[in-house]
Amino acid sequence: MRKWISFPHKAGTVSRQAHADFPAAGIYEREAGRSGFFGPASHFHHRHAPTGWSAWEGPLRPRAFDLNELPQQGAMPVDAATVLKNAHCDFRIWSLDKPMPALFRNGDGDDLLFIHQGSGELFCDYGHLSFRDGDYLLIPRSTMWRIEPAEPVTMLLIEATNGAYQLPDKGLVGPHAIFDEAMLDVPEIDERFRAQYAETETRVVIKRRGALSTVTYPYNPLDAIGWHGNLSVCRINWRDIRPLMSHRYHLPPSAHSTFVAERFVVCTFVPRPIESDPGALKVPFYHNNDDYDEVIFYHAGDFFSRDNIKPGMLTFHPCGFTHGPHPKAFAKAQTAPKTFTDEVAVMIDARDALETGDAMAAVEWGGYVDSWKPKD
């Protein structure tokens, strides 16, 4: 792959390189770009932090939700509370402490499960697969499945509505970067799976176009004795991800892409060394959401660019305004920067506007928009 050289225009005092070697101390860089982090972009140098607002009016604002405060949901995936949704992505969170009473089959799109807490067993058309905290479970559209928790489980459910998940193009770094496809585990037709064969009545709840149907069998339809092919449920844990790193340049979130759907991308932030070059930016750069809504779910650790955010919380930055590190995090990066991040987070960048679910109003941190205000 190659492209023609372009010669960007410039005005005033600027750095030659984005995110590094700023022309003077005490200035703030802001990136305005299109198509996420892949399109044309310009970088501004400001005398004040681009997030230094003193007041905010109107519905467009950065938002934060404490999903830990949501009440326990029901026994099936369809009972899960909607967090955010658009025509192409349905993001929900679900807690389960007992085996599912029926099989589930989603006819509306692939499901991506991220296990935030707990462990258990997944039984599906393809066999049996154990899971633990930090696992992604990718379930292709119309697969029958059920879960038996070994302990209470809390998980994200991210539906690619009317679509499918694929892996990102890893470009110059090659197909084995970030994680090798050999790390994708698939279910087995093992003793645990064969032990659940049964001639007992079994219900299958099917979701299609948002409506539910129930099909009853006089036996358990998870009765495959084997399978072959290249379509399957698969599992990978964030601990298996080896992130791209650069000691001289802060990489954009797109460098941490894990799965790609038609109109959104799922990224995973995992522990890594922080940039060590003296001139390199050591926190996420201020940037405009000019084409994408950004969602981050905080799974574990200390998210180094945010204050007062704990595991189980979620932030939502709709398209249309500049955002970036909190003032305290930015200041610390200038004076006493960390050398390593211990954060684990799941990010969604959605091309189409997301709407919050009805349950979110009760768990919103209303003061989040004020957390960027300059401190006296």
Give the count of beta carbons closer than 10 Å to the beta carbon of residue 126: 26
Of 222, 238, 254, at which residue does a domain stop?
Answer: 238
Q: Are residues 45 and 163 in the same domain?
A: no
Question: What is the CATH classification number for the domain harbouring 152?
Answer: 2.60.120.10
109/50 same-domain check? no
Paired residues of 89 in beta bridges: 160
Residue 254 belongs to some domain of the structure: yes
User: What does the block give as tokens for 283?
Assistant: 């926190």
Q: CB under 8 Å to 294, separation ≥6 — which residues?
A: 316, 317, 323, 347, 348, 349
Provide the token pair at 207. Answer: 């979701």
Of 238, 273, 293, which closes a domain?
238
Mark whether 269 and 362 lie in a shared domain. Answer: yes
Nearest Cα neighbor of 87 from 360, 350, 316 is: 350
Q: Are residues 209 and 82 in the same domain?
A: yes
Domain range for 208: 72-238
- Name, in order, each residue with C-beta under 8 angstroms of 77's C-beta and a sequence gap of 6 or more: 92, 94, 104, 106, 111, 157
DSSP 237-284: EGGG-B----SSS---GGGGEEEE-SSEEEEEE--EEPP-STTB--SP
In angstroms, the CA 119 to CA 132 distance is: 4
> Would 7 be classed as within a structural domain?
no
Where would I find the H helices in 93-152?
none
Domain count, the chain: 2
DSSP state for residue 200 in the 8-state scheme: S
CA distances from 232 to 92, 129, 204, 299 (A): 22, 12, 19, 26
**8 A C-beta contact, residue 144 and residue 124:** yes
pLDDT on residue 305: 63
8 Å CB contact between 20 and 281: yes
pTM for this model (two decimals): 0.91
Our measurement of the distance from residue 49's CA atom to the centroid of its chain's CA atoms, rounded to an integer in Å, reads: 27
Q: Which two tokens stand for residue 54?
A: 């003193």
**In terms of domains, do 262 and 200 share one?**
no
- CA pair distance 119, 98, nearest whole angstrom: 12
| pLDDT per residue of the chain (376 residues) written in tens, 0 to 9 | 777 767 788 888 888 877 777 777 777 888 887 777 777 788 888 888 888 888 889 889 999 999 999 988 899 999 999 999 999 999 999 999 999 999 999 999 999 999 999 999 999 999 999 999 999 999 999 999 999 999 999 999 999 999 999 999 998 899 899 999 999 999 999 999 999 999 999 999 999 999 999 999 999 999 999 999 999 999 999 999 999 988 888 888 888 999 999 999 999 999 998 888 887 777 778 888 788 999 999 999 987 667 788 999 999 999 988 888 887 777 776 666 778 888 999 999 999 999 999 999 999 999 999 988 876 5
| d(C-alpha 307, C-alpha 212), whole Å | 41
- The tokens for 82 are 């909607």
231 with 301, same domain?
A: no
Domain shared by 227 and 250, yes or no: no
